Structure 1
Amino acid sequence: MHVPDGFINAPASAVTGVVAAGAIAVSLRGARRELDERTAPLAGLVAAFIFAVQMLNFPVAAGTSGHLLGGALAAILVGPCTGVLCVSVVLLMQGILFADGGLTALGVNITDMAIVTTVVGYAVFRGLVKVLPRRHRSVTVASFVAALVSVPAAAVAFTFLYAVGGTTDIAIGKVATAMIGVHVLIGIGEAAITALTVGAVIAVRPDLVYGARGLEQKLKLRVNGELVDVPSAPAPVAARTSRRGLWITGLVTSVVLAGFVSFYASSNPDGLEKVARDKGIDRNVEKHASADSPLADYGVKDVENARLSGGLAGVIGVGVTVVAGSTVFWAVRRRRTTEVSPANTSAV
């Protein structure tokens, strides 16, 4: 659903740029509360994983494909504020290096794909977790539904932005029907990927899943008239997987998906591209400012072999994204540490 330059006019793009900048500023502050010494190193990995899986377009219907947006997934794994930052890092890398998503439309894409999907997805997730049984399985179920809802929500958001600042005179009803219809189908794929990923992480390290925090209620016994916590049972071997092991496994998986599996992804246009072609939204599309980038269109320039070119581009993208994301979240985590330390010192 990457919006190229020319779909939305300059005033609307500028407004969404301000909205995106404000949301990122708020998310940077909120991420300080969400990230701790256990989860901060994983946030950059989540961004890299989303980048990798977004390369895997899957067929949906009538010559259309879809791909992961990732907002709900990131919010559930590392928190909503950190999730907004994760997807924003991915969109920034895609726009600058791979000419995917317009640079003047970056505010539109961050608002639609990072903010809307994360906020809507996490709100649905939290609502479901409150009413479902307090079990890890409930997190997986809630993840599926949250991701499913987040994709058509992004389609609705794009339709609204198009109604406000679209550069072509197309009936908004036709755009809404086409966008929402196809993205409901894409949402099913998003839901499956999100549920499988969240379920896999919960199976080995449930303590690292932000959405599962505080899920299990501790048993209590009354001793001498007072309630005391019952010691937790030892975690199974799988649940004691080290953070380093999980990080390495996640990085290797991302590299394999982007570097090898992506070659077999669907070549059909994604939901927005298909609707744009069918309805004429793309009449005023502009050439991307990074169209001459050595990695434009997810291929390495001057590498003739298509499989090798796409694979190298995918691996480079994963590497750049994990470095950029890790740098951002390391800085956020360090800022939190420096803010907490003086407070602790003064308290002493």
Structure 2
Amino acid sequence: MHVPDGFINAPVSVAAGAVAATAVAVSLRGARRELDERTAPLAGLVAAFIFAVQMLNFPVAAGTSGHLLGGALAAILVGPYTGVLCVSVVLLMQGILFADGGLTALGVNITNMAVVTVVVAYAVFRGLLRLLPAGRRSVTVAAFAGALLSVPGAAVMFTLFYALGGTTDVPIGKVFTAMTGVHVLIGVGEAVITAATVGAVIAVRPDLVHGARGLAVPLKLRVDGRLVDAPAAPAAPVPAAARSTRPLWISGLVTALVLAGFVSYYASSSPDGLEKVAADQGIDAKAREHAAADSPLADYSVKDVSDARLSGGLAGIIGVGGTVVVGTGVFWAVRRRRADDLTAAATAAPSAH
């Protein structure tokens, strides 16, 4: 759902940019509360993983494909504020290096694919967790539902942007029907990928899944016919291997590199949901060439490498590597800012008495 330049007029694009900038600023502050020394590097990995999986377009209908948006996955794994930043980093890398998503439409894309998907998915996720019995299975089910609804939510937001500033004269009813129809199908794929990934991480490190925190259920004992809470067992020391995030980080990075560098070659070549709707309805009549169309990595291929498989694979590996470096740098900076704030608060506290 990467909106190119020319779909939305300048005033609405500027307004969307202001909304996106505000959301990113709020998320930078909110992420300080979500990130610690363990989760900061994992957030960079989540961004790289989303980049990789977005290269894997899957067929959803005749001549149409879809790909992961990633807002639901990021929000559930590392928190909603950090999730907005993860997807924003991905979109920035894609727009600048790979000519995917217009530069003037960056605010539209961040609002659609980062902010709306995270808000919708996390609201549904948290709402369902209040209704479902506590447990890992409930987290996976809630993740599936949140991801499923987040994609048509982003399609509705695009329709709103088009209604306010579309550059072509297409009836808004047609745009709404076409966009939501195909993106409901794409949402199913999003839900499957999100639930499978969340379930896999919970299986090995539930303590690192933001959305699974606080799910421990006290053990019950039956005494005189009544259920009572069992006495808390003494805390056992946690082995260093269990505390380390290195094995998960390495395996996650290797998976992302394999997906982007090798599996992506077999992805569907059909246009994605927005591209198909735009072509069918005439929304793309005033689309403009991307400012980075001559980039050495434009269209996810390495310039001057003639072999398509090698070219695409190298581009994917470069994209994953660049995203994990940039993302990890951003999240470590946010984490360090939080540490500085805590240190300043602790230093100032004695002088208040």
Deviation at 1:62, TM superposition (A): 1.5
Partners of 2:201 and 2:231 in 1: how far apart? 26
Tell me which stretches of 4 or more aligned residues in structure 1 moved more than 6 Å.
232-237
Q: How far off its partner does 1:110 sit?
A: 0.2
Q: 1:267 to 1:150 in 2, by over 3 A?
A: same
1:252 equivalent in structure 2: 254
1:345 and 1:329 map into 2 onto residues whose CA distance is 24
Letter in 1 for 2:330: V
1:43-82 alignment runs, 5 A limit? 43-82=43-82
**What's the counterpart of residue 288 of structure 1?**
290
The equivalent residue for 1:154 is 154
Aligned residue number for residue 224 of structure 1: none
Q: 1:207 to 1:229 in 2, by over 3 A?
A: farther
**Aligned-partner Cα distance in 1 for 2:128–2:233:** 28
Give 1:131-146 correspondences, 5 Å limit: 131-146=131-146
How far off its partner does 1:345 sit? 2.9
1:117-166 Cα offsets, whole Å, 9 max, x none, are 00110000000011101001100000000000000000000001000000
Quote the Cα distance in structure 2 between the aligned partners of 1:234 and 1:278.
61
Choose which of 335, 338, 347 in structure 1 pairs with 2:337.
Answer: 335
**What secondary structure does 1:147 align onto?**
helix
Q: Which residue of 1 aligns with 2:95?
A: 95
Change (3 A) 1:235 1:177: farther
Alignment correspondent of 1:14: 14
**Contact 1:254–1:318 (Cα < 8 Å) also in 2:** yes
Cα distance in structure 2, aligned partners of 1:34 and 1:292? 38
In structure 1, what is the Cα distance between the partners aligned to 2:69 and 2:231?
41
Q: Deviations over 1:11-54 (max 9, x none)?
A: 00000000000000000000000111221110000000000000
Q: 1:131 to 1:12 in 2, by over 3 A?
A: same
Which amino acid in the other structure matches residue 18 of structure 1? A
- Tell me which of 272, 279, 288 is aligned to 1:277: 279
What is the aligned partner in structure 1 of residue 23 from structure 2?
23
User: Helix, strand or coil for the counterpart of 2:60?
Assistant: strand
Task: Determine if contact 2:218/2:230 at 8 Å carries over to the other structure.
Answer: no
Distance 1:309 1:17, change over 3 A: same
Q: 1:324 to 1:217 in 2, by over 3 A?
A: same
Amino acid at match of 2:81: C
Unaligned runs of 5+ in 1: 222-226
Match of 2:202 in 1: 202
Q: Which residue number in structure 1 is paired with residue 233 of structure 2?
A: 231
Tell me the distance in 2 between the aligned counterparts of 1:300 and 1:322: 19
Q: Describe the SS at the equivalent of 1:289.
A: coil
The 3-state SS of whatever aligns with 1:128 is helix
Unaligned runs of 5+ in 2: 222-228
1:315 maps to which residue? 317
1:156-195 deviation per Cα after TM superposition (whole angstroms, max 9, x unaligned):
0000100000000000001110000000000000000000
Residues 56, 67 of structure 2: 8 Å contact kept = yes
The equivalent residue for 2:177 is: 177
TM-score (norm 2): 0.94
Q: Pick which of 209-218 and 83-92 moved more.
A: 209-218
**Is 1:168 equivalent to 2:164 in the alignment?**
no
Rate the CA distance shift 1:38–1:231 in 2: closer, same or farther, 3 A. farther
Report the counterpart of residue 345 of structure 1 in structure 2. Answer: 347
Q: Distance in 2 between matches of 1:146 and 1:28?
A: 23
Map of 1:187 onto structure 2: 187
Secondary structure of 2:65's match? strand
2:279 corresponds to 1:299? no
**Residue of structure 2 equivalent to 1:111:** 111
CA distance in 2, matches of 1:84, 1:203: 25
Asked if structure 1 preserves the Cα contact closer than 8 Å seen for 2:51 and 2:323, the reply is: yes
Q: Is the 8 A contact 1:8 1:166 kept in 2?
A: yes
How many angstroms apart in 1 are the aligned matches of 2:122 and 2:84? 11
Q: Distance in 2 between matches of 1:236 and 1:182?
A: 47
Contact 1:98 1:296 in 2 (8 A): yes
Label 1:80 to 1:235 Cα distance change in 2 as closer, same or farther (>3 A): farther
Q: How does 1:125-136 map to 2 (within 5 A)?
A: 125-136=125-136
Q: Which amino acid aligns with 2:285?
A: R
For 2:70 and 2:4, the matched residues in 1 are separated by 19
**2:261 corresponds to which letter in structure 1?**
G
What is the deviation of 1:347? Answer: 3.6
Letter in 2 for 1:321: T
| 1:94–1:100 CA contact under 8 A, matched in 2 | yes
